[in-house]
Amino acid sequence: MQYLTIPDTDLRVSNFCLGAMPFGMGQDIATEDSLVDAFLERGGNFFDTAHCYAFWTKAGAGSSERSLADHLKRRDLWGKVVVATKGGHPQEPGYRTVDWFLAPGRIAADIDDSLGRMGIGCIDLYWLHRDDPRVPVAEIVDCLNAEVARGRIRYFAGSNWSGERLAEANAYARAKGVQGFVASQPCWSLATKPMTRTMWELTAADWTFHRETGMPVIPYSPTAQGYFASNGEKGKSYDLPVNRPVLAKVDQLAKELGATRNQVALAWLLAQPFPVIPILGTSDREHLLDAFGALDLALDPARLRDMANE
């Protein structure tokens, strides 16, 4: 495993992040333990969860935060690893919130819940789960800095935010001499699909923003929900004409390198000209172990460009 310090923070993290969305959703605790242990044994120290996980299941919102906290407490790891969680998610059927989901009161309430569920006093990295363009970035930055001042979060970042809005927010933060956003968490992989109201795909303009600023990208669905690993059998929402030639390229390169398709897809992300920390959200220990093989692959610049869906 390799490590990097997220710019403008003292968070030194592994270059893979373990996504805890499946935790607490009913799978066997021993299965979750094996995932956490495999990640830790290979040097992983970065975990991601969210206030809303998993409101769409019987376990309900907060189940992931509670479960992840339990796994870390049993190993006496609080303060020794980096834990990120997310709040500020819009209304969805089964998830009770408010229309103005980035209002200061809503953000504060979500932080209250997350701190209580995990039994901690401060969150290392706090993501705003979705952007709300109705709210001026100045109000959002001021709100989050107030939470930093209260000692309830250390740093903050944007999930499903555009590079344009991140740039606007950080310009305001610099002008005011306060903390800005330190990372972005979009949906990003070698495959693409149309954006939805709640899912932001990294765009060409966003890519340029990250190349120019060096802000890290910490993408979810980095292997297109199993589309590459299964050779198109899973991740059906990615099974589009635009992605099939990319899948063929990935398959060919995997054969040339003696690697798996999953490893090639992850290696492409890791080879970008700015820091990328893929979130591994698998519930399968063998899939997690396979992902680590991407760290040993090096894609030359010409091959890197050829892989992209452009």
DSSP 200: P
- Tens of pLDDT along the chain (310 residues) come to 999 999 999 999 999 999 999 999 888 899 999 999 999 999 999 999 999 999 999 999 999 999 999 999 999 999 999 999 999 999 998 998 889 999 999 999 999 999 999 999 999 999 999 999 999 999 999 999 999 999 999 999 999 999 999 999 999 999 999 999 999 999 999 999 887 767 899 999 999 999 999 999 999 999 999 999 999 999 999 999 999 999 999 999 999 999 999 999 999 999 999 999 999 999 999 999 999 999 999 887 777 777 775 4
Q: Tell me what pLDDT residue 194 has.
A: 82
Q: Residue 241 in contact with residue 191, Cβ under 8 Å?
A: no
**CATH number of the domain that 76 lies in?**
3.20.20.100
Q: Residue 219 in contact with residue 205, Cβ under 8 Å?
A: no
CA 56 to chain centre: 19
**Which of the following is catalytic: 3, 53, 227, 238?**
53
Q: Tell me what pLDDT residue 299 has.
A: 84
Q: Residue 109 in contact with residue 67, Cβ under 8 Å?
A: no
Q: Is the pTM of this model over 0.85?
A: yes
Instruction: Round to whole Å and give the CA distance between 262 and 66.
Output: 30
Tokens representing 1 are 């495993």
Total Cβ atoms within 10 A of residue 53? 30
Q: Determine the structural domain holding residue 197 and report its residue range.
A: 3-307
Work out the end-to-end distance of the chain between its first and last CA atoms, rounded to an integer number of angstroms: 30
Task: Give the model confidence (pLDDT) of 199-239 as tens digits.
Answer: 899 999 999 999 999 999 999 999 999 999 999 999 999 99
Q: Return the H-helix or E-strand segment holding 144.
A: helix 137-149
Number of domains observed in the structure of the chain: 1
Q: Tell me what pLDDT residue 108 has.
A: 97
Q: Tell me what pLDDT residue 196 has.
A: 74
3 is catalytic: no
Q: Which amino acid is at 257?
A: L
